[in-house]
Amino acid sequence: MNAKNRIKTIRNTTLIGSFSNLILIIGKIVAGVVGNSSAMIADGIHSLSDLVTDIVVLIFIKISGKKEDQSHQYGHGKYETFATMIISFALMIVGAGILWGSSKKVLDSINGIIIEQPACIALYAALISIIVKEFLYHYTKNIGKKVNSQAMIANAWHHRSDAFSSIGTALGVSGAIFLGEKWRVLDPIAGMIVSLFIFKVAWDIANPSIKELLESSLSEDKENKVKAIIKANSRVKGFHNLKTRKIGNIVAIEVHIKVDKNLTVEYSHQIATEIENSIKDEFGDGSHIGIHIEPYYESTNNKNIIS
């Protein structure tokens, strides 16, 4: 899939999620107000954070799809990484908000304050939200993997966090409705559990984005694949100074290879090109590959050369 089609696919998928979130936000807040459910109103605000992250994805994905220019000679891929990090931080804020609100209600219940009983409309809204958000999670995640977009996958997890939030709301609301006054505390307890799950998901999303922005190397497994490709070329006598990193959804790889000192420049260049093409076959045509050619001398001490 070329860059133009990739951006179009991401945009269309995110717009579907945005429209669904807008409908859910209106429905949840109305159901929360009419059904006298503070949990459902909070769930609606959680969905509002989903809409915000959809907008973040739409803005940054468009920027990340731009070609290289004078000020961004490696492209704009890290805008997508930055968007992913923003989404993860938004998830952390949402999780903190749910934890704070739920904890306050639990303390109120312990202190003898009676939690209001919600109406059935709040339960229906929660059940509809679970179905819609779980569908959006699978749909967005599958498309995100197809187009290799970490921002979309992060947004998919935001959809799922909303689904789990609605599960907590549904449990709390149903407990408050069907089990009696003393069980109304189930609502905030479920909210606290959901908030911890949201924190875990947020960190799992943020961690690789932070590493990428801090120029961390590719995983050991991926670097081993690069080494295997280089070693597979019998004309390479050795290599060293391998450097790797990610730029959005593409990789950048630099390496110094040793070839017979008697080879012509043209032939040496041919070897480098073959290795470059093999690496791109593995990591994608958009990969930035830099191969530095060095002469190999039999008599030279080559302790630092990997062969």
Domain ranges of the chain: 3-213, 220-296
Mean pLDDT of all residues in 170-182: 79
* CATH for the 3-213 domain, from 1.10.150.120, 1.20.1510.10, 3.30.559.10, 2.60.40.10: 1.20.1510.10
pLDDT (tens digit per residue) in 225-236: 999 999 999 899
* Confidence (pLDDT) at 70: 66
CATH architecture of 220-296: 2-Layer Sandwich (3.30)
State what percent of residues in the chain have pLDDT above 90.
Answer: 23
Band (pLDDT 50/70/90 cuts) for residue 306 is low
User: Can you give the chain as a three-state secondary structure string?
Assistant: CCHHHHHHHHHHHHHHHHHHHHHHHHHHHHHHHHCCCHHHHHHHHHHHHHHHHHHHHHHHHHHHCCCCCCCCCCCCCHHHHHHHHHHHHHHHHHHHHHHHHHHHHHHHHHCCCCCCCCCHHHHHHHHHHHHHHHHHHHHHHHHHHHCCCHHHHHHHHHHHHHHHHHHHHHHHHHHHHHCCHHHCCHHHHHHHHHHHHHHHHHHHHHHHHHHHHCCCCCCHHHHHHHHHHHHCCCCEEEEEEEEEEEECCEEEEEEEEEEECCCCHHHHHHHHHHHHHHHHHHHCCCCEEEEEEEEECCCCCCCCCEC
Length of the chain: 307
Among all chains, which residue has been given the structure tokens 């490696």?
74
Q: What is the pLDDT of residue 61?
A: 66
As a whole number, mean pLDDT of residues 125-141 equals 92
Most confident of 27-31, 194-198, 205-209, 270-274: 270-274
Tell me which of 116 and 137 has the higher pLDDT: 137
Q: Tens of pLDDT along 46-74?
A: 677 667 767 776 776 666 666 666 666 56
C-alpha span between 194 and 88 (Å, rounded): 16
pTM of the model: 0.58
The dihedrals phi and psi of 295, each to the nearest 5 degrees, come to: -75, 145
Computed over every residue of the chain, the mean pLDDT equals: 81
Domain pair 3-213 / 220-296, same fold: no
- Amino acid residing at 70: Q
Q: Which of 276, 271, 278 is nearest to 295 (CA)?
A: 271
